[in-house]
A and B are shown apart, each in its own frame.
Chain A
Amino acid sequence: MTSMRVVVDLTKCEGYAQCAFLAPEAFRMVGDEALMFDPAPPDELQEKVLRAAAACPVQALQVDMADLPTPPPTATVSADGDDRLRHEGRIVIVGASLAGLKAAEQLRAEGFTGKLTMIGDEPEEPYDRPPLSKQVQTGWAASADTTLPRRRDIAADWKLGVAATGLDLEHNFVTLADGQHVGFDRLLIATGVRARPWFVPEEAGLDGVFTIRTRADATGLRERLLAKPRRVLVIGSGFTGSEMASVCVELGIPVTVAEAGPAPLAGALGGVIGRIAADIMREHGVDLRVNTRVDSLQGEDGRLRRALLSDGTTLDVDVAVVALGGIRNVEWLQGSNLAVGMWGVACDAGCRAFDANGLVTDDVFVAGDVARQPQPMFGYQFLAMEHWGNSVTQAQVAAHNMISGKTDRWPHLEVSAFWSLQFGNNIKSVGVPVIADQIAITQGSVDKRQFVAAYGYKGRVVGAVAWNQGKWLDFYEKLIEQAAPFPPPYDMTNPPADPTPVPAEFPAMTYPGRDATVVVTGHDPSERRATLVRGRR
């Protein structure tokens, strides 16, 4: 149990492969730029892993504090900061996963020396989820080994395996399932989402029907895949479903993907990119059925045997992976008078929760997948970004603001970003593609699966996706921050065969007020600021 823990911030990673050179047993390149890592490399690799971490050009590789000197806290001096809170305050974090841990580390890094309580309903210490649908399923890493490394000692009182069941904002305490009350001066809500189960409970309960959100889910599914099922049915082809289809192909297991919409990934990246994703799936031998629903799952002796599809076919399957997105964990907040709903907990750009009246609170903060935050770059819409990188940056901003005075607060203005690894392709995206009306290939070749596409809304850049061309995304991030014109009006190296913008083909949704309202400047979280744009640019 003393092996190292490693996590790579794959949002930051640009695929320079330095780690794969220096510690090839622990880091492996897939294709030109996608990276797989062993989250718990054996002790004898310690020196190599430290070498790899030091060499990372974007410092995306995080290793346990073990063997690293703990840097002194970078206490920010705040003009009207509440010094007592910093030194003696009680901070409670509910949700002990990525956002919760990152917030805790940031609090300590900024010199918070008060009492810190971490409450999580899962029995384990915070672990990393993205490997659960990738290297854990292909067998390169064990589900049990995905514990997140600690960048510093957070000296917390851990209450694991117990859920928070209520929040009293009149007396500022959290109620736990075991009846305890935990009082706080500041609270962080980081309860994330859970997997949306198959909608017929009896069918969902069949042996062989899985969702993937937790370590236990992933372990169970992996065992089943090892038993060589006749066929796997993946229900839904968003990122998790597509990654699972890719895993089955890699393991040589026949796989059918049923997608109710017109194409895989279309919800996140639109129909144009969706068709490319569909081609890739089919090239790899996936039985992809679009515009097709699963009508029912049927079992024998409690075990899944068959699936009936809306195209009239019946499939013999032993495993079904339900990948239909998530449900936000907000039920415990029902009586709290906070602004909660199926879209999450609403908060301001500084991560302070809104109450039911739409008034901002001063002592309750939100971060991670459960947070719904206004996006100044995108018409101040409230959006929840269910991405790893977003959880981290939001948690850091929330933590900073929890212990800072009002003249020293940071807005969370990071351009959202995510990655996915499927069929050997490294897919990375920045911005908010879903609000786009148009898309244009800006660099490279779709046929070679090496390209970048920009998303536009009303003539400005709002997002980009790179297919095995992730090193360029930094450039597009700046275009998004500057509300730059779409399509980008200049030549680039590696021009595409056809740069003409076409409709992005997102499923119809209404988003009010998508005009550019601000441009964002500044680099460090402490200096990032939005400036209103007057009139049309």
Chain B
Amino acid sequence: MTEASLYDQILDFANRANPWPLYEKLRSQPVWQESDGTFVVSTYREIYALMHDPRLSSDMTNLLPQFADRVPPAEGPHSFITTDPPRHDVLRRLAMRQFGPPHRPDLIDKLTPALSAIVAGLIDKIAEKQEVDLVDEVAYPFPVAVICHLLGVPPEDEPKFSAWVNPIVNALARPTPEQAQARDDARQHMSNYMFELAQRRRTEPGDDMISGYVTDDGPDGRLEGGDLFATLMLLLIAGHETTVNLITNGWLTLQRHPDVLERLRTEPRFAIRLVEELLRYEPSVHILPFRTAVADIEIGDTTIRKGHPIAVMLASGNRDPECIPHADRFDPDRADNVHLSFAGGIHYCFGAPLARLEAQIALTQLAKRLHNPRLVADPPPYRPSPVLRGPIHLPIAYESILPS
């Protein structure tokens, strides 16, 4: 047995609460090749260049055969995050058509009052208590309610789909055979569920996104079959999992920086830049675990080999002192905050505007309404995934809840 590589150590659950020192060591060399053939890229400039490099591929059929067992079967249905242009561009445009500009430019903007109302309601519910798990009470139910509303997924189905989400998320980085099996089963169940839901919306359309997908033809036609179910699964999962982490990581960071929390209480609009810095400092997505290359890519002194897996270490890039001044300092006043937390290039996070608004609204309201909040445990317990990283629970205590 060789010694665990830095990447192995990062994937190791034991390091979940504090991977930052490992990232720092990793950055001593922009690209590492793991003994299993994976290339690990951890420095800001190299990550930024890769995101704009047309040799980089998100389509796992471009992996060499010896790596193919690490990812969901290539012949399954695909959404835009696991495809390359030109198919990617069409799938993403079709998905975007029901979500944002140019076709529905003000959907998210118009949602702002509803977002505030949902958070206010969730905080009202914990008024009688003095100690809660912030994940269970706010950070999770809030984005779930929002994505269900947007997509047109019945909120009462949450227990059903949450049981499928975990096996899928847990198998993101380097699944064991059992994890891979559980993931594939969950995907099958979820796909069937989406199929039924889409059928229902076809006959009784509402103004939700799923209804749009199954009834509205744009210049590119319509999302259909496996593409539709894969896209819906992606939107449902990515539409809340990452935001839960953003809100939870955000609150944790605020409690660790009381002066900043105080500014959020008092300074109007402070949340705008605060959330940008939170995204940089404690991103929800730490790693893009599976990219590959359709040609050899030379970066720095290394050549990333065609067809090998590439792990892109977004969170590490965000703290690269070569490009980000005082990178390890949490500084909401930072100018020109160009973090990598939503990736970049054509795969830039689809739901980023929604995630930003949700975090801005949730954190502001929590700051204004929780009287004397404190952490019950620091560090809190973390979720298993090294990819979508965040606390699984965030127990907090407070004296009272102030009126909104």
Contacts and interface: CB of A to CB of B under 8 A. Distances in A.
Contacts of A445: 86
A18 B55 contact: no
8 contacts: A21-B108, A24-B105, A24-B109, A54-B275, A475-B49, A475-B54, A493-B57, A494-B85
Interface stretch (B309-317, B333-341, B380-388): B333-341
Interface stretch (A43-51, A136-144, A198-206): A43-51
Interface stretch (A25-33, A188-196, A264-272, A297-305): A25-33
B276 interface: yes
Interface string A29-64: 111100000000000000110110011011100000
Given A471-B346, A490-B295, 4 more contacts: A29-B105, A55-B356, A472-B54, A491-B55
Contacts of A492: 54-55, 294-295
B353 interface: yes
A493 B54 contact: yes
A338 interface: no
Which has the most chain A C-beta neighbours within 10 Å: B49, B52, B55, B294?
Answer: B52
A444 interface: yes
Nearest to A16: B348
Contact of A51 (B85, B348, B356): B356
Interface residues of B, number: 47
A384 to B, nearest CB: 28
The 10 A-B residue pairs whose C-beta atoms are closest, nearest first, are: A21-B353, A490-B295, A492-B54, A494-B85, A474-B52, A29-B101, A493-B84, A20-B101, A24-B105, A29-B102
Given A50-B272, A59-B336, A471-B346, A21 B105 contact: yes
Contacts of B185: none
A520 B180 CA distance: 46
Contacts of A22: 108-109, 353, 356-357
Contacts of A452: 54
Interface residues of A, number: 45
A536 interface: no
B163 interface: no
Contact of A474 (B49, B296, B337, B357): B49
B101 A17 contact: yes
Contacts of A20: 100-102, 105
A444 B109 contact: no
Interface string B272-315: 11011000000000000000001110000000001000000000
Contacts of A473: 52
Binding site secondary structure of chain A? mixed
Interface string B80-113: 0000111001000100000011100110110000
B378 interface: no
B269 interface: yes
Contact of B344 (A57, A442, A490): A57
Interface of A: 14, 16-18, 20-24, 28-32, 47-48, 50-51, 54-55, 57-59, 67, 69, 71, 442-445, 448, 450, 452, 471-475, 478, 490-494, 523
Contacts of A32: 89, 93, 102
Nearest to B354: A21
Nearest to A31: B102
Give the one of B275, B335, B337, B353 with max A CB within 10 A. Answer: B353
B321 to A, nearest CB: 14
B121 interface: no
Nearest to A494: B85
Interface of B: 45, 48-49, 52-57, 59, 84-86, 89, 93, 100-102, 105-106, 108-109, 269, 272-273, 275-276, 294-296, 306, 323, 333, 335-338, 342, 344-346, 348, 352-353, 356-357, 360
A469 to B, nearest CB: 8
B106 A24 contact: yes
A168 B112 CA distance: 60
B276 A471 contact: no
Contacts of B52: 471-475
Contacts of A16: 348, 352
A57 B49 CA distance: 14
Most buried by B among A28, A29, A494: A494
Nearest to B297: A490
Contacts of B48: 474
Contacts of B296: 490
A48 B86 contact: no
A491 B292 CA distance: 13
Given A29-B102, A471-B346, A491 B295 contact: yes
A23 B345 contact: no
Contacts of B45: 523
Given A57-B342, A71-B335, A471-B346, A51 B272 contact: yes
B273 A54 contact: yes
A55 to B, nearest CB: 6
Nearest to B54: A492
Nearest to B340: A57
Nearest to B336: A59
B101 A21 contact: yes
Point out which of A442, A493, A494 has the most chain B C-beta atoms below 10 A from its C-beta: A493
A75 to B, nearest CB: 15
Contacts of A24: 101, 105-106, 109
Contacts of A493: 54-57, 59, 84-85, 294
A267 to B, nearest CB: 28
Contact of A494 (B54, B93, B269, B336): B54
Nearest to A20: B101
Contacts of B108: 21-22
Contacts of A444: 85-86
A22 B323 CA distance: 27
A165 to B, nearest CB: 40
Nearest to A32: B93
A398 B255 CA distance: 45
A356 B273 CA distance: 51
A21 B109 contact: yes
A57 B339 CA distance: 8
